[in-house]
Amino acid sequence: MKKYDYLIVGAGLFGSTFAYEANKRGKKCLVVDKRNHIGGNIYCKKIEGINVHQYGAHIFHTSNKKIWDYVNSFVEFNRYTNSPIANYKGEIYNLPFNMNTFNKLWGVVTPEEAKAKIEEQKKELGIEEPKNLEEQAISLVGIDIYTKLIKGYTEKQWGRNATELPSFIIKRLPVRFTYDNNYFNDKYQGIPEGGYNIIIEKMLEGIDVNLSTDFFKNRDKLTDLAEKIVFTGMIDEFYNYELGTLEYRSLKFEHEILECENYQGVAVVNYTEREIPYTRVIEHKHFEYGTQEKTIITKEYPSDWKINDEPYYPVNNNKNNELFEKYKKLAAKETNIIFGGRLGDYKYYDMHQVIEAAFDIIKEELDEGSKY
């Protein structure tokens, strides 16, 4: 008999949820992560008394009450509501596109006036069959919103001109004809009071965790330790890229401590002009209504991805999705390896979705009668 029931590769939200639930059911788990901290991308580092979201702004939102109650059972959440703003060449607009945005753009006051303006702009260029992302966006919201709020931001995100990007990237653009700056439509939303680490620390309490441990550098030894592996790293790396490499977009984060109490007055500012190389500036203290003397901001720079860079966003185009399906076929043949999480499933998951995905696996693997 092996020492552990499960070796869990990755101490992110997926791996930690699985470990917690397995441990609760009497299974012995070992969690390893190549990083020197737990939490994966939701990890926060406390600097100057402020929880700094090390891997980009993380706002918890869900309409699933079970998931909301579950995360609240580890930590209390505050009432943070994400209301980002866009800065286009010094002009400030509310996001998501709503009556406040339209009023600032065109001086319109009523929803009817706003709708008429958008319709007029959509018709102006007469695009019937959009050939690229630019044409698609203009056909959905008109030229003004596209030029000031979409074009530069999207081009920075993808590292290409909007005319060279396929139209399917933007299927729809949510426009809201109410004066409502709440970014998410979900019923529940907030930030854990004291930061995300509390959730992961509580999940992994009493479980063996080895940090700074890369599965691939200790593959045989680690594999021998457990009956089964839950793998939340990159599925193509697991198979040594034998069928090809799945593509990602990466990000670089530049954190700065500033000698001022309040830098931008809001947690998230999107910079929508192409000329500014970063897409967003995050001021972390606003997530938890901090009153610290100093502040910390993070500039987010999108970048191309190559092997050994941090993979942040899967590029779910046809080519990559087809390749992923081939890896999935290999994975289906495994009897003692479970793939999961955003890298194992090659899917952009929000936090609530990653917990839901973990519950699905838990139910299948551990507990047919699970209440979830």
Q: Is 261 a catalytic residue?
A: no
Give the x-and-dash track for 317-346 against ligand FDA (CB under 6 A).
------------------------xxx---
Q: What are the start-end ranges of the E strands in the chain?
A: 4-9, 29-32, 44-47, 50-53, 60-62, 85-88, 91-94, 188-190, 208-210, 226-231, 248-258, 268-271, 280-283, 295-304, 313-314, 337-339
Active-site choice (300, 327, 346, 356): 300
Min dist CB 143 to ligand FDA, Å, is 29
| Under rule CB under 6 A, residue 197 binds ligand FDA | no
- Which of 7, 8, 9, 297: binder of ligand FDA (CB under 6 A)? 9
Task: Verify whether residue 176 is a known catalytic residue.
Answer: yes
In the structure encoding, which two tokens stand for residue 83, read together? 């209301």
The greatest distance separating any two alpha carbons of the chain, rounded to the nearest whole angstrom, comes to 72
Active-site position among 249, 278, 309, 365: 249
DSSP string of 296-324? Answer: EEEEEEEEE--TTS---EE--SHHHHHHH
**Catalytic site includes residue 322:** no
Q: How far is the CB of 150 from ligand FDA (least distance, A)?
A: 19
Task: List beta partners, residue 313.
Answer: 249
Task: Look up 350 and say whether it is catalytic.
Answer: yes
Contact 340, 350 (CB under 8 A): no
User: What character string, x for contact with ligand FDA (CB under 6 A) and - otherwise, covers 11-50?
Assistant: xxxxx----------------xxxx----xxx--------
216 is a site residue for ligand FDA (CB under 6 A):
yes
Query: In degrees rounded to 5, what are phi and psi of residue 91?
Result: -85, 140
342 catalytically annotated: no
Interaction between residue 153 and ligand FDA (CB under 6 A): no
Strand partners, 9: 32, 231
Q: How far apart are CA 29 and CA 7, in angstroms?
A: 6
The binder of ligand FDA chosen from 22, 57, 67, 133 (CB under 6 A): 57
CA dist 33 → 60, 80, 253, 328 (Å): 23, 30, 21, 23
Q: Angle at CA 159, nearest 5°, toward 176 and 56?
A: 65
Output the smallest distance, CB 163 to ligand FDA, in A.
26
Decide if 295 contacts 258 (C-beta within 8 A): yes
Instruction: Give the bridge partners for 94, in sequence order.
Output: 85
Which candidate in 176, 236, 247, 283 is catalytic? 176
Determine which one of 48, 201, 350, 365 is catalytic.
350
Q: Please tell me which residue in 179, 241, 289, 348 is annotated as part of the active site.
A: 348
Assess whether 280 carries a catalytic annotation: yes
- Give yes or no for residue 190 binding ligand FDA (CB under 6 A): no
| Catalytic residue check, 208 | no
Residues 120/132, Cβ–Cβ less than 8 Å: no
C-alpha 39/C-alpha 369 separation (Å) is 28
Nearer to ligand FDA, 8 or 140 (CB): 8
Active-site option among 79, 128, 129, 172: 172
Binding string to ligand FDA for residues 347 to 366, with x set by CB under 6 A, is what?
Answer: --xxxx-x------------
Residues with a catalytic annotation lie at 172, 176, 249, 280, 300, 348, 350
Residue ranges that bind ligand FDA, judged by CB under 6 A = 9-15, 32-35, 40-42, 55-60, 214-216, 232-233, 251, 312, 341-343, 349-352, 354
